[in-house]
Amino acid sequence: MTEPLSRPKRKDPLKKTRIPLLPQGTRSRTALGLTAAAAEGRFQLQVCGDCAAVVYPPRDACPRCLSANLPFRDVDNGGTLLAETTIRTSTDVYFRERMPWRIGTVLLDAGPAIVAHLHGDLREGERTRLELKLDKSGQAIVIALPARDTPNMADDPQWRELTCDPKYRRVLVTDGRTAMGQAMAEALSQGGASIVFVGVADPWKPFPGEDRLRKLERVEIVALDLTDTISVNECAGEFAPRVDILVNTAEHVRTGGIIERKGLTVAREELEVRYLGLMRLAQAFGPVLRARGADGINSAAAFVNLVSVFALTSWPAYGAFSATEAACLSAAQSLRAELRPGGVKVVNVFFGPLETEWYQAVPPPKLAPSTLGRAVVQALRQGLEDVFVGDIAEDIRARLAVNPKALERELGS
C-alpha cells in the first residue's frame, strides 16, 4: 500500500536545488502517436487496418501482415503483470537519482506484451490497467496501475513523477476577479494545494465574489495585474520561488469579428490581458519554474493555460476574441518547448462558452466555472497536456479531427 505523502518540510536554505534532469526523450516520428494519445489521456496503440493486429512498440509495418496501414486507435487497457524487476542502479543520470525503480512486463488482453513502469501497489501476477503518460521529457511511457484504485495511490513516487498533482503544491491563480478565477482557486484549494495565491488587479475596484474568495481556505490574495509588466515582475519577485503550479485564468471575452469592431481599443485590451499577459507571466515565472522541476515533493510542475477552444478555429461571432486565443495557443506551444528542459508541463485546457455574463446571449450548453475548476484539478492529477472540457469543446475537437474546413464554414454561418 502506498505510504501517504506528508506535507513537505520547508526547504533547507543551505541545500543546493537539484537541476532538473530528463529521461531519454528521443522517439521515432511514428512513436509520437503514443505521445499524442498520452497528452490527452487516451490509451491508444497501433491497430493494423488490414489484419486488426494490435501492435506495440510502434512500427511502420504490421509485424503480422506487413501492411503500412497502422493507425493509432483506442485499445482496451486491461492486462496482466507477468514479471517485475526492481532496478537499483543505472548509468542514466535521471533514473540514477530516483532509484529504486520498478518495471515489468505486462501482457495486454488486446495482444502485445509491453514493458511498463510499475505503480508501487501492483504485484507480479496481478491484473493491471495500463496508461500512457508523458514523462518529464514530454514523451509517452506506459505505466501499469493496480486494476482497482488503492488508498493514496496518487502518492506513489513513480506515479507522481508523471503527474502534476496539486497535493502539497503551491499554486498561483493569476486572476481572481472573475467567476472562473474564483472557481479555480476553490477547486485547487479543495484539490489539496498547500496554498493558493490568487492575483487581483486594480484592487481599488471592488468585484463580485470578493468576500467569498477572501474567505476560502488556504487562499491568499496577491497584487497582480497581467497587463502591467512591472506588476507581473514584482509579483514574481516575491512569489515565484513558491509557485509550483501556475494557472492562468486571464479572460477577455467580447463579441464581434474583425470588421464588427470599430477601432482597435478593445482588441488591444484583449491582447494585453491574454497574449501579452501570458508572455509576461512566462518571462517572469517561467525561468524559476524551469529551474525548480526537480525540487522535491513540491517541485515546480505545471503552467496551465485556460484557453478558448476557438483558439483552434475561429468563431466569427467572437472573431477578434478567437484570434487572440489563437495567439495564446501558439505562445503556449512555444512555452511548452521552453519549459520542457525543466520537466515542467504546459497544460492547455480548452473550453467553450462559460455560464458567465460575457456569454449571456449564447444558448446552452455552457460550462459552469466550477466544472472547469474540477477539470483542471483532474488534468493535473492525470498529468495531461491537452484537455477538452465540456460538450462544446469536445464537439469542436471531434469535428476538427474529421473535417476542419466543414467546421470553419459552419461556424461562419
Partner 1 sequence: MSRNTDAIGSPDLLAFAGAIAAGEIEVVDLTHTLSPDFPTIVMPPELGQCAPFRMEEVSRYDERGSAWYWNNISMGEHTGTHFDAPVHWISGKDLPENSVDTIPAANFIAPAVVIDISQQSAANADYELTVADVEAWEAMHGRIPPRSWVLLRTDWSKRNGRDYVNMREDGQHTPGPCPEVVRFLVEQRDLHGLGTETIGTDAGQAFHFNPPYPAHYYMHGKGRYGLQCLANLDRLPPIGVVILAAPLKIRRGSGSPLRVLALVPRARSGM
Q: Is residue 68 a contact partner of residue 46, using CB atoms and an 8 Å limit? A: no
Helices (H) and strands (E) in the chain, counts: 12, 15
For partner 1, the closer CB: 22 or 354: 354
Give 89-116 as a DSSP string: --S-HHHHTT-SEEEEEEEETTS-EEEE
CB of 213 to partner 1, least distance (A): 16
What is the closest distance, in whole angstroms, from the C-beta atom of residue 224 to partner 1 in the complex? 11
Smallest gap, in angstroms, from Cβ of residue 202 to partner 1?
7
> Which is closer to partner 1, CB of 123 or CB of 212?
212
Residues in the chain: 413
* Stretch of 127-135, 139-147, 225-233, 342-350 contacting partner 1, by CB under 8 A: 225-233
Upstream peptide bond of 71 is cis (omega within 30 degrees of 0):
no
Burial of 16 (0-12, 13-18, 19+ CB in 10 A): exposed
Exposed/middle/buried for residue 53 (C-beta within 10 Å: 0-12, 13-18, 19+): middle
Task: Show the site string, 249-288: x = touches partner 1 by CB under 8 A, - = not.
Answer: -----x--------x-xx-xx-------------------
What spatial distance separates the first Cα and last Cα of the chain, rounded to whole Å? 56
Closest CB to partner 1 among residues 230, 402: 230
Task: State the minimum distance, in angstroms, from the CB of residue 255 to partner 1.
Answer: 9
Give the residue with the Cβ less far from partner 1, 193 or 279: 279
Q: Which is nearer to partner 1, 210 or 395 (CB)?
A: 210
- Dihedral angle sign, alpha carbons of residues 29, 36, 346, 356: positive
Asked if 145 contacts 122 with a C-beta cutoff of 8 angstroms, the reply is yes
Question: Does residue 356 bind partner 1 (CB under 8 A)?
Answer: no
- Closest approach, Cβ 9 to partner 1, in A, equals 36
Which residue's CB is nearer to partner 1, number 102 or number 261?
261
Residue for grid cell 468563431: 315
Give 168 or 275: the residue with its C-beta nearer to partner 1: 275
Q: How many residues bind partner 1 (CB under 8 A)?
A: 17
Nearer to partner 1, 156 or 270 (CB): 270
Cβ 77 to partner 1 shortest distance, Å: 47
The verdict on whether omega for the bond into residue 57 sits within 30 degrees of 0, i.e. cis, is yes
Least distance between partner 1 and beta carbon 229 (Å): 6
Distance CA 399, CA 148 (A): 34
Shortest CB 203 distance to partner 1, Å? 6
Reading the block at residue 45, the C-alpha cell is: 496503440
Residues of this chain, 26-55, that bind partner 1 according to CB under 8 A: none
> Beta strand 195-200 with 219-223: parallel, antiparallel or unpaired?
parallel
CB of 95 or CB of 358, closer to partner 1: 358
Contacts of partner 1 in 226-245 (CB under 8 A) = 227-231
Torsion of CA 324, 316, 250, 191, to 10 degrees: -120
- Looking at the DSSP bridge assignments, the partners of residue 104 are 84, 116
Return the closest-CA partner of residue 379 out of 181, 166, 140, 221. 166
Convert residues 179-208 into a mask of x (bound to partner 1 by CB under 8 A) and - (unbound). Answer: -----------------------xxxxx--
203 vs 364 by CB, closer to partner 1: 203
Binding site for partner 1 (CB under 8 A): 202-206, 225, 227-231, 254, 263, 265-266, 268-269
